[in-house]
Amino acid sequence: MCLAIPGQVMEIVDEEHNLARVDVAGVRRNVNVGLLVGDGNDVRAGDWVLIHVGFALSKVDEEEAHATLALLKQLGEAYESELEELKASIIE
């Protein structure tokens, strides 16, 4: 749970509840982007975000996202199990 993993926003699926579909290393799940709305800088399809326990914590640029992913992959087990937990997640 301590990790923040980068994912790319595919689409906003539920505007009212701030839910977006994201792609995290090929895994597509819903996350909440409510912490990133309201500053006139709302999340859009194509944006990269750091995701922590099902919530987007901050926006990052694409280069940062790829560098972070590469770093996480090297972590091995901690990263694998985080991805497994994400796969089991159904946020609606």
Minimum CB separation of residue 49 from another protein in Å reads 11
Fill in the per-residue mask, 10 to 49: x = in contact with another protein (CB under 8 A), - = not in contact. Answer: -------x-------------xx-xxxxxx----------
User: Which of 45, 61, 62, 73 lies at the binding interface for another protein (CB under 8 A)?
Assistant: 61
**Sequence letter at residue 55:** F
Helix intervals (H) in the chain:
62-75, 77-87
60 binds another protein (CB under 8 A): yes
**Between the CA of residue 25 and those of 22, 38, 48, what are the distances in Å?**
10, 28, 12
Three-class secondary structure of residue 37 per DSSP:
coil
Compute how many other C-beta atoms are within 10 angstroms of the C-beta atom of residue 49: 26
Which residues contact another protein (rule: CB under 8 A)?
1-4, 17, 31-32, 34-39, 50, 52-55, 57-58, 60-61, 64, 67-68, 70-71, 74-75, 77-78, 81, 85-86, 88-92
